[in-house]
Chain A
Amino acid sequence: MTAAVLEVENLRMEFRAPRNAGGRRVQAVRDVSLEVQEGEILGLVGETGSGKTTVGKCVVRLLRPTAGSIRFMGEDITAMPSSQLRPLRSRIQMVFQDPYSSLDPRMTVSQIVAEPLRAHGTHSRREAAGLVRRTVERVGLSQQVLDRYPNELSGGQRQRVGLARALVLEPRLLIADEPVSALDVSVRAGILNLLVDLQRTMGFSCLFITHDLSVAEFLCDRVAVMYLGEIVEVGTRDEVFGAARHPYTRSLLGAAPLADPVEQRSRQRAILPGEPPSAIDPPPGCSLNPRCPLADRRCTEEAPGPTQVSEGGHVVRCHRVQEQLDLEVARS
Chain B
Amino acid sequence: MAELLSVQDLQVRLFDRLGVVVAVRDVSLSVEEGEVVALVGESGCGKSVTALALLRLLPPDAQISGRVTFQGRDLLQLPLKELRAIRGRDIAMVFQEPMTSLNPSFTIGNQIGEVLRLHKGLRGQQARERASELLSLVRIGSPEQRLRAYPHQLSGGMRQRAMIAMALACDPKLLILDEPTTALDVTTQAQILDIVRDLRQRLGMSILLITHDLGVVADLADRVAVMYAGSKVEDAEVHRLFAAPRHPYTAGLLRALPRRGRRAGDAQERLLEIPGLVPVLRDLPDACAFAPRCPRSQDDCSNQHPGLAPCEADHRVACLHPEPIVAGAHP
**Interface range on chain B (Cβ under 8 Å from partner):** 35 or more
> What 1/0 flags go to B240-265 for Cβ under 8 Å of A?
00110000000011101111111111
B window 149-198: CB within 8 A of A: 155, 157-158, 185-191, 193-194
Q: Are B271 and A257 in contact (CB under 8 A)?
A: no
B window 114-138: CB within 8 A of A: none
Q: Chain B residues near A264 (CB, 8 Å)?
A: 215, 218-219
Q: Is A326 an interface residue (CB 8 A)?
A: no
Q: Are A262 and B331 in contact (CB under 8 A)?
A: yes
Q: Is A260 an interface residue (CB 8 A)?
A: yes
Q: Are A255 and B186 in contact (CB under 8 A)?
A: yes
Q: Are A185 and B253 in contact (CB under 8 A)?
A: yes
Q: How far is the CA of A269 from the CA of B213 in the complex (A)?
A: 19
Q: Are A189 and B273 in contact (CB under 8 A)?
A: yes
Q: How far is the CA of A213 from the CA of B258 in the complex (A)?
A: 9
Q: Are B212 and A257 in contact (CB under 8 A)?
A: no
With contacts A154-B277, A185-B212, A265-B219 taken as known, whether A258 is within 8 angstroms of B186 at the C-beta atoms is no
Contact partner of A262 (CB less than 8 A), chosen from B193, B239, B264, is: B239
A141 to chain B, nearest CB (A): 13
> What 1/0 flags go to B7-48 for Cβ under 8 Å of A?
000000000000000000000000000000000001100000
With contacts A251-B187, A252-B186, A261-B242 taken as known, whether A218 is within 8 angstroms of B253 at the C-beta atoms is no
Q: Are A258 and B190 in contact (CB under 8 A)?
A: no
Tell me the nearest residue of chain A to B191, going by C-beta: A271
Q: Is A256 an interface residue (CB 8 A)?
A: yes
Contact partner of A47 (CB less than 8 A), chosen from B186, B214, B257, is: B186
> What 1/0 flags go to B305-331 for Cβ under 8 Å of A?
000000000000000000000000001
**Residue in A186, A237, A271 whose Cβ sees the most chain B Cβ within 10 Å:** A186
Q: Are A256 and B186 in contact (CB under 8 A)?
A: yes
Q: How far is the CA of A98 from the CA of B303 in the complex (A)?
A: 37
Q: How far is the CA of A47 from the CA of B191 in the complex (A)?
A: 14
Contact partner of A211 (CB less than 8 A), chosen from B42, B186, B261, is: B186
Tell me the nearest residue of chain A to B44, going by C-beta: A184
Q: Is B270 an interface residue (CB 8 A)?
A: yes
Q: Is B62 an interface residue (CB 8 A)?
A: no
Q: Are B260 and A241 in contact (CB under 8 A)?
A: yes
Q: Is A217 an interface residue (CB 8 A)?
A: yes
Chain A contributes a number of interface residues (CB within 8 A of B) equal to 43
Q: Are A190 and B189 in contact (CB under 8 A)?
A: no
Q: Are B185 and A258 in contact (CB under 8 A)?
A: no
Q: Are A218 and B258 in contact (CB under 8 A)?
A: yes
A52 to chain B, nearest CB (A): 12
Q: Are A259 and B218 in contact (CB under 8 A)?
A: yes
> What 1/0 flags go to A263-277 for Cβ under 8 Å of B?
111000101110100
Q: Is A188 an interface residue (CB 8 A)?
A: yes
Contact partner of A186 (CB less than 8 A), chosen from B216, B219, B252, is: B252
Q: Are A215 and B258 in contact (CB under 8 A)?
A: yes
Q: Chain A residues near B253 (CB, 8 Å)?
A: 185-186
Q: Are A192 and B271 in contact (CB under 8 A)?
A: yes
Q: Chain A residues near B277 (CB, 8 Å)?
A: 154, 156
Q: Are B238 and A261 in contact (CB under 8 A)?
A: yes
Q: Chain A residues near B264 (CB, 8 Å)?
A: 192, 196, 218-219
Q: How far is the CA of A215 from the CA of B272 in the complex (A)?
A: 14
Given contacts A189-B271, A259-B217, 20 further A-B contacts (CB under 8 A): A47-B186, A48-B185, A185-B253, A188-B256, A188-B271, A189-B257, A189-B272, A211-B186, A214-B257, A215-B258, A217-B260, A218-B264, A219-B264, A252-B186, A256-B260, A259-B259, A269-B194, A271-B190, A272-B187, A275-B158
- The residues of B with any CB-CB pair to A shorter than 8 Å are 42-43, 155, 157-158, 185-191, 193-194, 212-219, 221, 238-239, 242-243, 252-254, 256-265, 269-274, 277-278, 331
16 A-B pairs (CB sep. < 8 Å): A48-B185, A156-B277, A184-B212, A186-B253, A189-B256, A193-B271, A215-B258, A217-B260, A218-B269, A252-B187, A259-B214, A261-B217, A261-B221, A261-B238, A265-B218, A275-B157
- The residues of A with any CB-CB pair to B shorter than 8 Å are 47-48, 154, 156, 184-186, 188-190, 192-193, 196, 211-215, 217-219, 221, 237, 241, 251-252, 254-265, 269, 271-273, 275
Q: Which 10 A-B residue pairs are closest in the complex by CB-CB distance?
A: A257-B215, A189-B271, A255-B190, A189-B256, A186-B274, A218-B258, A184-B42, A47-B185, A259-B214, A190-B273
